[in-house]
Amino acid sequence: GPVAETFKVIQGAMTEENVRSTQAVFQFELSGDGGGTWYVDLKNKGGSAGFGKPPGTADVVMSMSSADFIKMFTGKLKPAMAFMSGKLRIKGNMALAMKLEKLL
């Protein structure tokens, strides 16, 4: 589905530089179609992304609908707007959440 495709794209776009500059593990709790627990690891060897719990503990956990997640990663929804309107809930390190926004 579209969520899995998005994570494939994220995985394909990762670089050692992203991992070096970010040093964080992000967990996404998505509701709706293609939802569930997904992660983006920008801390460990080369980085990874996919379905399920991250390897190790997440520094930031973001909860949102899968539809809004797709919009956010395709640039149709700004993360700050999603957060302020309550579509995106963030637990953990806000500074690291901001770093992820720069990578989008």
Residue 103: the pLDDT is 74
State how far the Cα of 85 lies from the Cα of 33, in Å rounded to an integer.
Answer: 21
Residues 18-74: pLDDT tens digits?
999 999 999 999 999 999 999 999 999 899 999 999 988 999 999 999 999 999 989
Residue 1: the pLDDT is 92
State how far the Cα of 9 lies from the Cα of 5, in Å rounded to an integer.
Answer: 6
| Residue range 1-17: mean pLDDT, rounded | 94
State how far the Cα of 72 lies from the Cα of 104, in Å rounded to an integer.
Answer: 8
Are residues 60 and 26 in contact, defined by beta-carbon separation less than 8 angstroms?
yes
DSSP state of 33: T
Element (H, E) at 3: helix 2-13
Residue 100: the pLDDT is 86
Domains in the chain, please, with CATH? 2-102 (3.30.1050.10)
State how far the Cα of 47 lies from the Cα of 76, in Å rounded to an integer.
Answer: 25
